[in-house]
Amino acid sequence: MTILVIAEHDNASLKRATLNAVTAAAAAGNDIHLLVAGHGAAAVAEQAAKVAGVAEVLVADAPEYAHGLPENLAALVVSLASSYTHVIAASTAVGKNFMPRVAALLDSAQISDVVAFKAPDVFVRPIYAGNALATVQSSDAIKVITIRPTAFDAAATGSAAAPTRAVASAPAFDKARFVGQELTKSSRPELAAANIVVSGGRGMQNGDNFKLLDALADKLGAAVGASRAAVDAGFVPNDYQVGQTGKIVAPQLYIAVGISGAIQHLAGMKDSKVIVAINKDSEAPIFQVADYGLNADLFEAVPALTSALD
């Protein structure tokens, strides 16, 4: 079993989800190669070489890999895939974008969002917003897999450097072009990797009231999230969204504020270690999954909580 893991990065640093993917790969076999496709990404290749469990780092450095365009990234992975039994990436916005393209070009049925390996060819993945777990077996020669980062620990870093090998670029695809990006500037931790997440729902009433959650999050060193209802209502941007169709989080502490607890929201946070729910509706379904429920008006409870943490 030789496994190819595709690193996610911004040409400067390796994203944490890659470390989760390396741990997942170790469940399939121990000969793990990590592909760094980027442009001017030498620093990333260096970090990749120090990830525990990585036997070799493959580096493809070319302008067409600068922004992770899926057409180019998929073509590169396909050009390398015949040496591998498994191709694995984290189920992030990047992984979700290019991996199915890889699978189609290899005529392989991708297994998305895997949370456990039962055997090198048997995988467990959530379906129906996590209301069911399917155990599936793949007979494809090259298994194309995206893994749910929160289901696997991050591989350790700082081990002795693995060897690095440059690989040839695949022919560039010119029908898709990167134009630009706007990233939300925030000093808070990344939602998917935070130890504490404070999320707001429709009960927040408007976007301005999210300042209450910002203040609490700053006290706790937490990330701020939201339910789909809050995103739909335009209170906050979509990248705040926790749920089946947003981000999947599993922090040490998840504080749900003014969130009723729709199925699709629970799908994104029910693996959190400790869940706190603050809601003025005592019948809200969120209380059924919360470790600690506080039946109170959030506009009083949240500021009180924030000031009590001084």
Choices 35-43, 54-62, 160-168, 293-301; region in contact with other proteins by CB under 8 A? 293-301
Distance (Å, whole) CA 133 – CA 124: 7
Binders in 2-41 for other proteins, by CB under 8 A: none
Task: Find tokens 């072009």 and name the residue.
Answer: 177
Closer by beta carbon to other proteins, 32 or else 101: 101
Binders in 103-132 for other proteins, by CB under 8 A: 103-105, 107-113, 122, 126-132
Choices 27-35, 162-170, 183-191, 202-210; region in contact with other proteins by CB under 8 A? 183-191
159 binds other proteins (CB under 8 A): no
Among positions 208, 283, 308, 310, the unique one binding other proteins when judged by CB under 8 A? 308
Q: Which two tokens stand for residue 44?
A: 């990333």
Task: Say whether 158 sits in a helix, a strand or coil.
Answer: coil
Closer by beta carbon to other proteins, 56 or else 121: 121
Minimum Å gap between C-beta 103 and other proteins is 7
228 binds other proteins (CB under 8 A): yes
Sheet holding 86-90, edge to edge: 111-114, 143-147, 86-90, 2-6, 31-38, 54-61, 164-166
Nearest to 268 by CA among 303, 295, 240: 240
166 binds other proteins (CB under 8 A): no
Q: How far is CA 142 from CA 2, 24, 152, 181, 283, in A?
A: 10, 16, 22, 33, 48
Distance (Å, whole) CA 64 – CA 172: 6
Among positions 100, 120, 189, 207, the unique one binding other proteins when judged by CB under 8 A? 100
The CA-based diameter of the chain, rounded to the nearest angstrom, is 60
Closer by beta carbon to other proteins, 153 or else 291: 291
Minimum Å gap between C-beta 48 and other proteins is 19
208 binds other proteins (CB under 8 A): no
Among positions 141, 238, 281, 297, the unique one binding other proteins when judged by CB under 8 A? 238
Residue 49 has a CB neighbour count (10 Å cut-off) of 19
Choices 27-35, 46-54, 161-169, 174-182; region in contact with other proteins by CB under 8 A? 174-182
Among positions 53, 70, 258, 268, the unique one binding other proteins when judged by CB under 8 A? 70
Binders in 241-260 for other proteins, by CB under 8 A: 241, 244-245, 247, 252-253
* CB neighbour list of residue 78: distance below 8 Å, 6 or more residues apart: 102, 105, 106, 170
Distance (Å, whole) CA 279 – CA 287: 9
Closer by beta carbon to other proteins, 107 or else 158: 107
Nearest to 113 by CA among 278, 293, 240, 268: 268
